[in-house]
Amino acid sequence: MKFIPNACIQEDMLKEMGLTSIDDLFADIPKDIRINALNLPTGKSQQDVEQYFRELEQKNVSAFEMPMFLGGGVQPHYIPAIVQSITSRAEFYTAYTPYQPEASQGFLQAMFEYQSMIANLTGMDIANASLYDGMTALGEAALLCHRHTKKHEFLVSENISWEKRSILQNYVKGIGMKIRSIPFDKKTGAIDIQQLKQQVNDHTAGIYVEHPNFFGVFETHLDDIRALCTKQNALFIMGIHPLSLGVVQPPGSYDADIVIGEGRCLGNPMDLGGSTLGIFACKQQFLRQLPGRIIGLTKDAAGKQAFCMTMQTREQHIRRGRATSNICTNEGLCALAAVVYLSWLGASGLTSLGNRLVERASTLKQRLLEIDRFSPVFSGAHFNEFVLTYEGDGQRLHQHLLHHHLHGGLPLHPWYPNLSKACCFGVSELTTDEQIDHFIKVAKEVV
């Protein structure tokens, strides 16, 4: 049957359906909500559309042309060519959920290797085959705490991002779970352990802390938090920056029950906000409550090594009321990028990178503090981000930096009113001495 063009057979098609006009196809739409036309420009040819977008993309400026010193958890990281080379292969790029293991062994092995790497990095027993992002991973962790403990309160420190807090609130709303905020120590930026001790109780399902937290500060009371969780039969959830695991102890060494994190920095580009990668690992005892998928190593009928989906508690596979997640295929490609990136980086490379990030952040912080208007906010040790106050016109400073193609620190006052003059700065391994020199020079120009 001819579909394009079909104008010549339009009347025949309508007659076959027993209709007199195309408008009859929309007869079930009430007339009072119909519109005569859409307010859209006239159509363009493919050639004109391509030219339009070529002109439009010229307005974008990449992080290479406009160096970023923004904190907030997202920085441009180096992605080796091998990552795109492998992830763009058709057998990976177009792969769907591997329902048929006999036709998906390569992709299944990649997911198995991803799980193994994440479990090894975090020091946990098991890891799933990824979630959407670090924020939804936190939501899933809270739901797991509720399913396991049957309790309805979840404690989080106020030194996490407002976005995570919002996503978490949405996740637990349906089960009536209460989110309780624990203040952070105004001197160190870490969780206020005394406030935590006062608020944890028999109703606490879990306690979530980040190491490093949103301010880039490393927590110092992890053993105390573990003890509180044990005493109240609550679960201990730790949020991690995966690139920090080359220079700090893994969460498993603190006896964490669940570990979550944002894995975008593992071989995945910023791409104007997506896609991202949700890391989720936990102890063996929570296997049956784990969201997402678990890929297992087994043997086929001939006794050869094979891979299969061992756990798949998605709503597509089991009763919706018992499903622990509706995670779908698209995250597989992001997890694959992480596998390739970590394989390229290696253990020693991860340690070197972690040290590089600490050194770059320390250098920028020291250089900024040489400018009289800047002063430190927190005394705690930090990773690749840190917070400083600017005793001047912050808006003017940021506009001046932008004018010189530099992204300054992230103003925190919209979300942390008590940090009205504070900005969160961040760096990556792509931050060069020359960029820091230029940043300091331009910042000094504002008087």
Spell out the per-residue pLDDT of the chain, length 447, in tens: 455 667 778 888 899 999 998 889 888 999 889 888 888 888 899 999 999 999 999 998 888 899 999 999 999 999 999 999 999 998 888 767 677 777 789 889 999 999 999 999 999 999 998 888 999 999 999 999 999 999 999 999 999 999 999 999 999 999 999 999 999 999 999 999 999 999 999 999 999 999 999 999 999 999 999 999 999 999 999 999 999 999 999 999 999 999 999 999 999 999 877 789 999 999 999 998 888 888 999 998 899 999 988 877 655 566 666 666 656 566 889 999 999 999 999 999 999 999 999 999 999 999 999 999 999 999 989 999 999 999 998 889 999 999 999 999 999 999 999 998 999 999 999 999 999 999 999 999 986
pLDDT score at 317: 60
Cβ neighbours of 233 (radius 10 Å): 12
Residue 293: predicted pLDDT: 83
Q: Does the domain at residues 81-342 carry the CATH identifier 3.30.70.250?
A: no
How many CA atoms lie within 13 Å of 124's alpha carbon, on the beta-carbon side?
A: 29
Distance between first and last Cα of the chain? 73
Q: Write down the H helix ranges in 123-192.
A: 134-149, 162-173
pLDDT at residue 29, rounded to an integer: 92
Encoding tokens for residue 386? 């840190």
Indicate the burial class of 85 (C-beta count within 10 angstroms; 0-12, 13-18, 19 or more).
Answer: exposed
User: Which residues make beta-bridge pairs with 374?
Assistant: 390
Contact 215, 383 (CB under 8 A): no
How high is the pLDDT of residue 100?
76
**Torsional sign, CA 228, 230, 232, 234:** positive
d(CA 162, CA 177): 18
Q: pTM of this prediction?
A: 0.88
The pLDDT value given to residue 325: 64
What is the pLDDT, as a whole number, of residue 313?
64
Task: Please give the pLDDT value at position 35.
Answer: 86
Sign of the CA dihedral with 394 first, then 395, 398, and 403 last: negative
Domain 347-444 matching CATH 3.30.1280.10: the answer reads no
CA distance 72 to 215: 8
User: CA 53 to CA 145: how far, in whole Å?
Assistant: 47
Local structure of residue 325 (DSSP, 8 states): B
The C-alpha atoms of residue 80 and residue 124 are separated, in whole angstroms, by 27
Cβ atoms within 10 Å, residue 69: 25
- pLDDT of 271 reads 84
Task: Read off φ and ψ for residue 314, nearest 5 degrees.
Answer: -90, 160
- Environment class of 417 (CB within 10 Å of its CB; exposed 0-12, middle 13-18, buried 19+): exposed
CB 205 within 8 A of CB 257: no
Ranges of each domain in the chain: 81-342, 347-444
**pLDDT number for residue 41:** 87
Give the number of other Cβ atoms within 10 Å of residue 121's Cβ.
Answer: 24
- Residue 49 is predicted with a pLDDT of 95
Sort 316 into a burial class: Cβ within 10 Å, 0-12 / 13-18 / 19+.
exposed
Residue 239's pLDDT is 98
Arithmetic mean of pLDDT over the chain: 91
Beta-carbon count within 10 A of 307 CB? 22
Cα separation, 143 vs 175, in Å, equals 8
